[in-house]
Structure 1
């Protein structure tokens, strides 16, 4: 039985991946921002175990995890949590920049650091769900795109550093995907939202599982998905 820890399992891509892993009988650990959210995740994913740690405050993740039982080994760490707020550079406040970078970049780096011993033990896989914004930035996307460009750099460095330990690192770059976050983006853009136009989260989950199930003689550094339309 493989052991996985997933962030962002409350909705969207993270929820789709968590459902698939649980359905096939894998051991699932889910990170929640607080105890109330942990109870919701436990109800939504019977049999999964939860950890509490707020990605918006990465400096406290170490303190939070020290007080909880952690998995002895990890076959994968799946970073799928994220936050997005659009706006021109001239309007974005330091508070928004700090929150976006904390959740989308600093917290994945810190959580990975804290769980590297378990990943090395299993020669596991780190999957970072990035975005098309991690490859190209557009007007009013500066904070989000900067965090995702940074996440790409994190993955590239981690991949080079952990190769000797057998830890594989994959970045997944989905285009627009039909998630609650995408609905929020459309609201900020002032556009109507039609989820049928965008990638189904299950399609991204299929890609993630393919990465996890890849035989040990190969690795997928990067994979990009785009809506078929």
Structure 2
């Protein structure tokens, strides 16, 4: 299961894993999500991470799950003094609470498969980035949840992926906030991050990749 798979890194992750996995593409129903699913022969799964109360009924049919990839996320560019409480609430709701809620509901299915939970984190989850106050805080929290899950669920593999800046629409918004010209060639491609993530997922069963840090050259 991949969250946020309608485009960008999520769609690239789906492309990278389609040859080796049966895909559940989770997210709010949309034409873009349907297009990715149609191209790969995948199944869409209507999950709204901003509505954790609805998640149990949605995922209840899943009894075994090999891999859960938390890719969905939101970011509101802004330094601390520029942010609002509503932005913090929205960021934490999707980036942290939604990921926690989905993981908790899928724990029995993951345990049944001795599965793997992957968190697409960020360099901002290791070192806070200027102008990304609420986003950085949410990624630090997500890293803490991943570490706790790894410690408390020894039958699972848990990996945090911390890429540097990726050439995505989110990146364009951040560069515009910074008042600079956007050049996708300066950043990691979504295909590169997807391939690195797929390598961690497809590692031999006796390997447990705790953390992946990848930066643009």
Range class of TM-score, shorter chain: over 0.9
| CA–CA distance in structure 1, aligned partners of residues 110 and 59 of structure 2 | 16
Gaps of at least 5 residues in structure 2 are none
TM-score (norm 1): 0.89
| CA–CA distance in structure 1, aligned partners of residues 53 and 180 of structure 2 | 36
2:42 to 48, 63, 67: 48
1:87–1:173: structure 2 CA closer, same or farther, 3 Å change rule? same
Does residue 200 of structure 1 match 2:198? no
Give how far 1:46 is off: 3.8
Bigger drift between 57-66 and 154-163 goes to 57-66
| CA–CA distance in structure 2, aligned partners of residues 38 and 141 of structure 1 | 27
Count of matched residue pairs = 217
1:34 alignment counterpart: 29
Contact 1:158 1:169 in 2 (8 A): yes
Does residue 113 of structure 1 match 2:97? no
| CA–CA distance in structure 2, aligned partners of residues 179 and 102 of structure 1 | 21
Matches within 5 A, 1:76-87: 76-87=67-78
1:25–1:136: structure 2 CA closer, same or farther, 3 Å change rule? closer
Deviations 1:120-178 (A, max 9, x none): 11111100000010011133211000000000000000000111xx2100000000011
1:8 alignment counterpart: 4
CA RMSD in angstroms comes to 1.6
